[in-house]
Amino acid sequence: MPRSLLIRDIHTLVLMDAENTVLRDAHLYIEDGEIRQVGTRPAKLPRVDRTISGRYAVAVPGMVNTHHHLYQTLTRACPAAADAELFDWLRTLYPLWARLDEESVHVAALAGMAELLLSGCTTTTDHHYLFPRGHSRLIDAEIEAARRIGIRFHPTRGSMSVGQSKGGLPPDSVVQGESRILADSERLIRQYHDPAPGSMLRIALAPCSPFSVSPELMRATAALAGRYDVRLHTHLAETRDEEAYCLNRFGKRPLDLLEDAGWLNANTWLAHGVYFNRSEVARLGRAGVGIAHCPSSNMRLGSGSAPVLALRRAGCPVGLGVDGSASNDSSHMLAEARQALLLHRLLHGAAALNVADTLRMATVEGARCLGREDIGSLEAGQRGDVALFDLRDVGYSGAGDALSALLLCAPTRVSTLVVEGRVVVEDGELKTISLDPVLARHRRLAARMQGENWRRGGDSNSRYP
Ligand SMILES: [Zn+2]
């Protein structure tokens, strides 16, 4: 692999530094995975292993996806769940997901990660919480996929321990005992977690939601995370149904439950955060809790809209999450950023959120949610994660400002993508894996998993290889 990479003559380079600097005719020099030089005047550079032209490109920091369930790419647009709200959507899909195994998780992760990379995302998390009996190595299968495809990966060891027989939402067949969950969480941290700067893989711990784990597991997970200095993640305040469940079962609002379990601190980032009231927003801001805002998923399931502007004003880092992929049903990071921009303009007016701040959520603030200071901007000293979009694309034709075009025009595929100094996408094609056979396998696995529901939707499997 080349040690040094020069991207020269970049039409528009968006640094995402504190001053929102945008450079024209710029260059970016990466060595050993780190950005060593960035600027407009070609500085004297050492011998370069590889040079790429950025003459027609707008370059932005590789985007950071802060919430996802990659396995759900196998149940996208599932007919039986197409028009349901969260609890019914989950009840419909849990039995299909009970068919997961290591191979299907691996292939689903490859498909989802490919879609993310091609949309400009260089770092993703994943929240995997469903372990059918006999299949305990599903996170390992995802990690193997991330290594093959070359994405920076923050998998979370998710968990569900309260099945229907104990008053929870998921069927008993997909929940695990709490001691087993904690032991496997510890195994994964010891086996894979790399805290070093530039790390390509960090583990976090992620009980699924208040309606599928016990408060005891939340507390024990926080203690384990503290022992190993890894981060905490969960779904919170996503729907009114969840709020009602918490009030009925525990006599508390979701955020009070979280605080009681020792989670209200800057080591935690939460998915959704739709139903926080004003005082809760202030508490979250004071604590520095990160929020993974998932506008497409929230709109798709009709859940509501997170108070994103207030959360940011309160001091929370707010990142973006594509979520899903069965509740979006996309893993397109640039499309998610556009969705966030449009949603909050719809709610608060066109001046409420600008393009640069939206892109800041998709990059720097997302990185902060994952506890990263070394990614999210294109300043010297940061890791070499860069997304280039080709301004010659038909969708950008005629655009006056390249940065605005990225979010105001229809989302496109990235032309070049660099992760840790490695060219992962070139000319709009993945270079690390051969995608077609992966997608052929993915379609077959999805058809098998969706089974009866697939056929009820009127589709036949015969059109797939
Ligand atoms: Zn989720």
394-435 pLDDT, tens digit each? 999 999 999 999 999 999 999 999 999 999 999 999 999 999
Tokens of 287: 């604590």
More confident residue, 2 or 22: 22
Tell me: pLDDT of 452 over 80: no
Omega before 377 within 30 of 0, i.e. cis: no
Beta carbons of 422 and 1 less than 8 angstroms apart: yes
User: What CA–CA distance (Å, rounded) separates 293 from 65?
Assistant: 10
Residue 36: pLDDT band (50, 70, 90) is very high
User: What CA–CA distance (Å, rounded) separates 39 from 7?
Assistant: 11
**Structure confidence at residue 46 (pLDDT):** 73
**400 C-alpha to ligand 1 centroid (Å):** 37
Query: Tokens 């859940």 belong to which residue?
Result: 303
**137 C-alpha to ligand 1 centroid (Å):** 20
Residue 42: pLDDT band (50, 70, 90) is low
Contacts of 205 (CB under 8 A, 6+ apart): 156, 157, 185, 221, 224, 225, 230, 231, 232, 233
**51 C-alpha to ligand 1 centroid (Å):** 39
**173 C-alpha to ligand 1 centroid (Å):** 20
User: What CA–CA distance (Å, rounded) separates 79 from 220?
Assistant: 38
User: What CA–CA distance (Å, rounded) separates 166 from 188?
Assistant: 27
**192 C-alpha to ligand 1 centroid (Å):** 23
**323 C-alpha to ligand 1 centroid (Å):** 5
**68 C-alpha to ligand 1 centroid (Å):** 6
**136 C-alpha to ligand 1 centroid (Å):** 20
**93 C-alpha to ligand 1 centroid (Å):** 13
**267 C-alpha to ligand 1 centroid (Å):** 19
Residues 172-211 have pLDDT tens digits of 989 999 999 999 999 999 999 999 999 999 999 999 998 8
**401 C-alpha to ligand 1 centroid (Å):** 34
**74 C-alpha to ligand 1 centroid (Å):** 15
**69 C-alpha to ligand 1 centroid (Å):** 6
**244 C-alpha to ligand 1 centroid (Å):** 19
Tell me: pLDDT of 461 over 80: no
Q: Is 165 exposed, middle or buried (CB count within 10 Å of its CB: 0-12, 13-18, 19+)?
A: exposed
**140 C-alpha to ligand 1 centroid (Å):** 20
**Structure confidence at residue 454 (pLDDT):** 46
Residues 306-327 have pLDDT tens digits of 999 999 999 999 999 999 777 8
**33 C-alpha to ligand 1 centroid (Å):** 31
**211 C-alpha to ligand 1 centroid (Å):** 13
Phi (first) and psi of residue 8, to 5 degrees: -115, 160
Strand duo 422-426 + 429-430: pairing: antiparallel
Q: Widest CA span of the chain, in angstroms?
A: 68
**Structure confidence at residue 338 (pLDDT):** 98
Q: Share the mean pLDDT of the chain.
A: 94
